[in-house]
Structure 1
Amino acid sequence: MEKGLSRGADYLEIDVQLTRDKIPVIFHDIDIFEKTGLPGLVQDYSYAELSQSYKIPTLERVMRWGREHGVYFALEIKSHYYQTSSSELELMPLMNEIVKGSDMVGQVEAFGVNYRALTALKRLNPEFEIGLIVPFIPEDPVSLMRDMHAMVYLSFVSNLRKDEIALLQRSGYYVSGAILREQQLIDYAIESNVDMFEFDEPEIFLDRKR
């Protein structure tokens, strides 16, 4: 995270998952074997069990660090829905309490594909901003955002037309583009004036802005 900030990132995107003993942790992968040597999912193990083979940060620790350093976060609710749906719902009140307790509500957004979980979070705390991963092309993007009380519309750049980006922005929403691994998509994201994008090499965009 410190490296990302030093390279010019405006915010950090991190993935939040829930352990078996109900501790929200930061862990990117659904399959945990590569990093931990353990089969299964984060939710199958206690925090202590996971920590034996991998130094896994808790959400609480990261939020305290973020508060101390003025960092902004996009918190992805990691989803493997048919296996993790109940865990994602259980995560919402715990995440809300940690973010509130760290005085970080104004510096985070939660986002993901599980709209049911995001709706539950918004009901718990209307001040908690949410973003929607939209892996499809909706008939009416603005209505979708309004109905979900969302702030950020996240989609593949290749699924975003310039006129639709402009319409969402005029309607008061932020647009985030992904996945920027090809130069053509990088160029299109910049030309389309998306508000946000997630990329492993932010200095490339800083160079383009100069």
Structure 2
Amino acid sequence: MKQNMQVTNLTIPGRKKPYVMAHRGNNVLCPENTIAAFIQSFQDGADILETDLQLSKDEQFICIHDGSIDRTTDGTGLVSDYTAEELKNFSAFYGRDNFKSERIPFLTELAAILPPDVALALELKSDRFLEDETCQRLIDILTTSGIRDRTFVISFSKERVLCLHRLAPDIPAGLITMSGYTPDPEMQIIGPFWPLVFLNPFYIRQVRKNKQIVCPLDPTPDKRLRIYEKMKVDAVITNNPQNTCKLIRKYDQ
């Protein structure tokens, strides 16, 4: 059984790295960012759940990747055009008829089902996270939900995660980056587009020197798992945690 995770250094006692991070849940077997996808990833054995945060018209934190609901639901329009209650009128089935009952989850709903031994990575998708008030409300929800100590925030926007990290230094901040041959020293967690760690053989060495956590941005990592294990990355992100977990167990035999 997995033991408690210390998110500050991404350590799960008794477990071997790399840890498996479920990208929007298991979005191969289920529609992305739905309760079904989250639960599936827990059953698959994922160590970390990654999801995205947008804000509704009434300021609720909503687990959805895009700024609009067009791609993943049977509705149209911006997430911010609807109240949280109104968003529940749309199916988040992503064109899969057997998932028509799925709805866009709220962060509070996710917090209620998050297993105690699974960490949470929240990608901040909106510039609303440049506002202290918005970041403080998120911090308060994480605190009252009892998941603050196993949550970290990530984004392609350094400014968004630093805004929250300044208010809550105990919540690690991670930068996802598509460019740059060296890791940003201000970040606790680095998510470089996976070719970057291959182009610069010293990238991982610099991460270690900076005492950072690294998880390459590679949602289809299975063909490169052996290499990532040799590189000693801390985590791998995957669209299909079921397959990735199986492969890691197989390689460890």
Q: TM-score higher than 0.5 here?
A: yes
Preserved CA contact (<8 Å) 1:179 1:198: yes
> 1:178 and 2:233 equivalent?
no
Q: Which one of the candidate residues 132, 156, 159 is aligned to 2:193?
A: 156
Report the counterpart of residue 116 of structure 2 in structure 1: 69
Equivalent residue runs for 1:1-210 within 5 Å: 1-54=38-91, 55-66=103-114, 69-78=116-125, 84-85=126-127, 87-90=128-131, 91-138=134-181, 140-141=182-183, 144-146=184-186, 150-160=187-197, 161-181=200-220, 184-199=223-238, 200-201=240-241, 202-203=244-245, 204-210=247-253
After superposition, the Cα gap between the structure-2 partners of 1:168 and 1:40, relative to the gap in structure 1 and judged at 3 Å, is same
Q: How many residues align?
A: 197
Unaligned stretches of 5+ residues in structure 1 = 79-83
Tell me the amino acid that sits aligned with residue 45 of structure 2.
Answer: G
RMSD of Structure 2 on Structure 1 (CA): 2.1
Preserved CA contact (<8 Å) 2:221 2:237: no
1:47 deviates by 0.8
Query: Please, what TM-score do these two structures have when normalized by structure 2?
Result: 0.70
Tell me the amino acid that sits aligned with residue 230 of structure 2.
Answer: E
Identity %: 23
After superposition, the Cα gap between the structure-2 partners of 1:167 and 1:19, relative to the gap in structure 1 and judged at 3 Å, is same
Secondary structure of 1:49's partner? helix
Structure 1 stretches of 4+ moved >6 Å? none
Of structures 1 and 2, the one scoring higher in RCO (CA 8 A, sep 6+) is: 2
Higher helix proportion: 1
> Deviations along 1:185-208, whole A, 9 cap, x unmatched?
444323322111111233222322
1:19 deviates by 0.6
